[in-house]
Amino acid sequence: MIQISNRRHFTLHFVLFLWFTLQCFHGAAQNGEVYENKKYDKAVGVVQLYPILNVGNQEMQPPIVHLQQTTELMLQFDMLTEEYDNLQAKIIHCNADWTQSVLNDIEFLYDYNTFDLRDFDYSENTLQLYVNYWMKMPKVKVSGNYIVQVYHDSRPDEVVLTRRFIVYEQLVNLDPGLRSSTSVRYRQTNQQIDFALSYPSLQVNNPMSDFKIVLLQNHRWDNAVQGLLPTSINQAASKLEYRHFNAENNFRGGNEFRFFDIRVYNFRGMNVGRVDKGARSIDAYVMRDKSRNQSVYSHSMDMNGSFYITTNEAAASYLQADYINVHFDLAVQKIPEDIYVIGAFNNWRKDQFSRLTYNAQSQSYQAETLLKQGFYDYMYWVDGENPYRFEGSFYQTQNDYEIIVYYRGFTDLADRVVGYTSVETEF
């Protein structure tokens, strides 16, 4: 009996030691880099990663697919060069915070983790020459956050671009509800997501730490709500409630997006004041914008910040869409905070490329960016306490929301995505 007891005691200690060692290895293996949707090469034009759904607006759908479904993800992007370049891609499995996980390639991929980008085509009859590349994402073995990283041939340190995508399992049930904020202070400006989460098929030891929740508005990661803890736990029923009362689960409703139409350059599209076509380039000037902060809410159709590449010519193809220098002009008084023009077209990034500069002569803020022909939504973002200073924020605004549920059990070395749902506001 003593030998058996000692053996069990040794086995328990060995299992705990092994688990602790793996967790230490897990922490050491991460390089700490948070992977984003980002362009690293100045020659990169438009980048899109979307599910192949065989519908007209598939390019506007988020890159999220179920682990067991046959739906594939397509990466498509332009390089603003005259000649084809040998490019390769690899897949990176990430934790919930988008840092690299410790999973080996063989643990999440069926293929060797080097993919040659052999599918490409040249632009046709455009002033801006470019090469269009595309590749389907490989099938993966496990759910989670993923990055596709494109780099120059056999030079993985020379990264061209990175793009996020998610593969999920539906192992939890989600029951979301959208409403205006329960906080009196934010009732007219904010939207609130309450939801219940049930997990009958998962062995959960600590619901407070085993789950991580991420809420997204209009597929954006720059204003994601993270770190929510359940407000109610019923372990007997395997059910959690997330119904906060201090605006933790709130988003600014914002306003319906501004938009412009650059499908054509022979005449002005909607909200375009002027188009100049030169021998080597095309410039489109968006009509002067004004602050909308004092306006009352008015419903209008938009794409919730997205964009759609197309031309107005029936016979034109994706390869015949040209690139246009788009000029923005916001007529407001000068303020100490930085102002950015953002949307899905620039991955909602607030950097030197999206920052507006004040023009004293025109008494307005201005910016310029190179975009491919199509429809575009955009907004002006103020880097301060009130980001919607020039847009206004209303609880009635139509927005898309997503709930992503991450789970890491006692023996898991990486975060799994065990739940996903989307819902749109209807006020």
- Provide the percentage of residues in the chain whose pLDDT is more than 70: 92
CB-based contacts of 224: which residues, under 8 Å, 6+ apart?
214, 215, 216, 217
pLDDT, the chain, mean: 93
Are 147 and 164 in contact by the 8 Å Cβ rule? The answer is yes
DSSP result, 349-385: --STTTB-EEETTTTEEEEEEEEESEEEEEEEEESSS
Q: pLDDT-derived band of residue 295, with 50, 70 and 90 as boundaries?
A: confident
pLDDT in tens, 239-278: 999 999 999 999 999 999 999 999 999 989 999 999 999 9
Are 396 and 254 in contact by the 8 Å Cβ rule? The answer is no
Residue 36 pLDDT exceeds 90: yes
| Residue 201 backbone phi and psi in degrees, to 5 | -100, 5
DSSP result, 54-113: SSTTGGGS-SEEETTS---EEEEEEE-SSS---EEEEEEEE-TTSSB-S--HHHHBSS-S
Question: How confident is the model at residue 18, as a pLDDT?
Answer: 44
pLDDT in tens, 374-393: 999 999 999 999 999 999 99
Residue 24 pLDDT exceeds 60: no
Q: Helix (H, G, I), strand (E, B), or coil: what is residue 129?
A: coil
Superfamily of structural domain 173-254+397-424 = Immunoglobulins (2.60.40.10)
- Provide the percentage of residues in the chain whose pLDDT is more than 90: 87
Higher local confidence (pLDDT), 154 or 86: 86
Q: pLDDT-derived band of residue 30, with 50, 70 and 90 as boundaries?
A: low
Question: How confident is the model at residue 187, as a pLDDT?
Answer: 96
DSSP category for residue 333: -
Closest CA to 379 of 412, 404, 356, 361: 356
> CA separation (Å) from 167 to 160, 222, 317, 359, 407?
23, 20, 31, 45, 13
CATH of 38-168, picked from 2.60.40, 2.30.30, 3.30.750, 1.20.81, is 2.60.40
Q: Domain boundaries in the chain?
A: 38-168, 173-254+397-424, 258-382
The CATH number assigned to the domain with range 258-382 reads 2.60.40
Please give the structure tokens belonging to residue 176: 């979301």
